[in-house]
């Protein structure tokens, strides 16, 4: 049977970002992550694109928690991308706001993000 391919975005909730700003950052993460996988893991990308482009958004409460998720993704050979803030509004320039994991097989991503709550 074919693997279910999904993309998961992990958002920091400790930065005080408004809903619109979070939506913009998640959108950016989706595009960056998808483009990365389109180039590096084409079969995952093609299947994800064909079957609904599933996306799940989860949250963490600190940079250290986000870093732990990122390290776990790397150790599981999962593609990831991170979104930093340009600092035009209320956040310091270069602040990492969220990361994308995948698009990749769901069971691989779940090993890394299973304990995280939905945003």
**Residue 93 confidence (pLDDT):** 86
CB burial readout 38-58, b (16+ within 10 A) else e: eeebeebbeebeeeeeebbbb
Given this model, what pLDDT does residue 104 score? 98
Provide the pLDDT for residue 52.
93
The whole-number mean pLDDT for each consecutive block of 10 residues of the chain, a chain of 119 residues, reads: 89 95 96 98 97 97 97 98 85 92 97 96
pLDDT (0 to 100) of residue 91: 81
CB 6 within 8 A of CB 80: no
Given this model, what pLDDT does residue 89 score?
Answer: 72
pLDDT score for 103: 98
| Bridge partner residues of 81 (DSSP) | 100
């Amino acid at each position: 049977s074919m693997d279910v391919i999904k993309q998961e975005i992990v958002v920091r909730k400790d930065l005080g970002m408004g809903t619109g700003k979070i939506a913009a950052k998640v959108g950016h993460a989706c595009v960056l992550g998808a483009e990365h996988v389109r180039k590096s893991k084409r079969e995952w990308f093609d299947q994800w694109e064909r079957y609904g482009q599933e996306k799940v958004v989860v949250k963490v409460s600190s940079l250290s928690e986000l870093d732990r998720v990122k390290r776990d993704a790397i150790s599981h050979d999962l593609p990831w991308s991170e979104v930093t803030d340009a600092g035009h509004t209320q956040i310091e320039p270069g602040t990492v706001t969220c990361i994308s994991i995948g698009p990749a097989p769901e069971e691989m991503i779940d090993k890394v993000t299973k304990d995280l709550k939905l945003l």
